[in-house]
Amino acid sequence: MEPFKYSESDQLLKISKWIKESNVSLLAGFTTKEDGFSKGDYSSMNLGFHVGDVKEDVVRNRAHLSNKLNVPINSMFFINQIHSNFIKEITKKDLQKPFHSEELQDIDGIWTKEPRVLCTLQFADCVPVYFYQPDIPVVGIAHAGWRGTVGSISKEMIQSMAKAGVDPKTVQMAIGPCICGDCYKVDEKVISQVPKQFNHTYQKTNSEYKLDLKRLNFDILVSAGVKKENIISTDYCTSHHDLFFSHRRDKRTGRMVAYIGFGFDK
C-alpha cells in the first residue's frame, strides 16, 4: 500500500499512517509541482531559489506552502544542500533567520526534538529519508543523493539523533518520492563508490549501470539496525510521474520539498 497519500485539496503527498496515529500533531509529507506561481521550466510550485527561477515567485510559493500546512513561515527551516552527509540539529534559535535566506548551512540532514519547528529539504530526484521517533518525540529528514547515500547519510542521521534518544530498533522510517532504479543511470565512477555488500542494488546495462538509490538507502538503514518492518517506502518515481520536478528528466527544473515536524495544530 502506498504510504504517501495524495491530497486533492492541497496537492500534497502526506505520510497518512504516521499522521493518523500521531498524538503530537505531526506534519509529514512531500510537495508536488502543482498549484504554485512559478512559470516556464519551473511551473508551478517551485520551492528552490538556487535553480534560476524568479525569486519573487519562489517567495510566493513558500508562503503558499505555509498556508497549505497552516504553519507560520517563521517555523519553516530551509537550508543550502551540498550532497554531503553533514547533519545538524535544529532548534527554535535557528528559525530567527529569514525564511527566504536558504543559504543557512551547508548540510543535507536536519532533525529536531522541539515542537513547531518544520524541517524541510529540497528534492528533484534524490531520496528523501524521513525519521520519526514518536515516543520522545524526535523527527528528522535526510537528502540522499548518490554521494550522500554512499556516505551513509541515513546511518549518520541515526547516530546523530541517538543523543536525543532515537533507537534504531524502534525508530520509524519512510523513504519518499525519488528517481527509480530503471531511470537512474550512472557510470563506473559512481558504482565504484557503492560498498560491495550492496552490489545487488545496481545492474549493468551496456556501458551504464542502473542504480536503485531507494533500495540502497533501505539496505543501509537495515545494516544500521533499523527493523525492516519499521521502514515504509513509496512507489512514486519522480522521473516517471508528471506530478514532480525531475532534474534527470528535465534538466532545468524546479524543486519539491520534503517536510516533517510536530506540535502543529491539525
Element (H, E) at 89: strand 87-89
Contacting residues for 217 by C-beta, under 8 A, at least 6 apart: 127, 129, 144, 149, 154, 175
Backbone angles phi, psi at 95, to 5 degrees: -80, -5
The string of pLDDT tens digits covering residues 191-229 is: 999 999 999 999 999 899 999 999 999 999 999 999 999
- Report whether the peptide linkage leading into residue 44 is cis, meaning its omega lies within 30 degrees of zero: yes
What is the structure's pLDDT at 105?
Answer: 72
- Is 263 strand, coil or helix? coil
**Does an H or E element contain 58, and which?**
helix 55-69
In the chain, the amino acid numbered 67 is N
**CB within 8 Å of 136: residues ≥ 6 apart:** 113, 164, 165, 166
149 pLDDT higher than 80: yes
- Set of cell numbers at residue 66: 505555509
- pLDDT per position as a tens digit, 36-84: 999 999 999 999 999 999 999 999 999 999 999 999 999 998 888 999 9
Q: What is the DSSP string of 119-153?
A: EEEEESSSEEEEEEETTTTEEEEEEE-HHHHHTTH
Amino acid (1-letter code) at residue 148: G
DSSP label at residue 42: G
Answer yes or no: are the C-beta atoms of 194 and 247 closer than 8 Å.
no
pTM of the model: 0.97
CB 244 within 8 A of CB 35: no
How far apart are the C-alpha atoms of 209 and 50, rounded to whole Å? 29
Q: What is the reported pLDDT for 94? A: 86
Task: Decide if pLDDT at 101 tops 70.
Answer: no
- Return d(Cα 101, Cα 249) in angstroms, integer: 28
Asked whether residue 106 carries a pLDDT value surpassing 90, the answer given is: no
Average pLDDT, the chain: 96
What residue ranges define each of the domains in the chain, with the CATH number in brackets? 4-181+231-261 (3.60.140.10)
Residue 100, pLDDT > 80, answer no
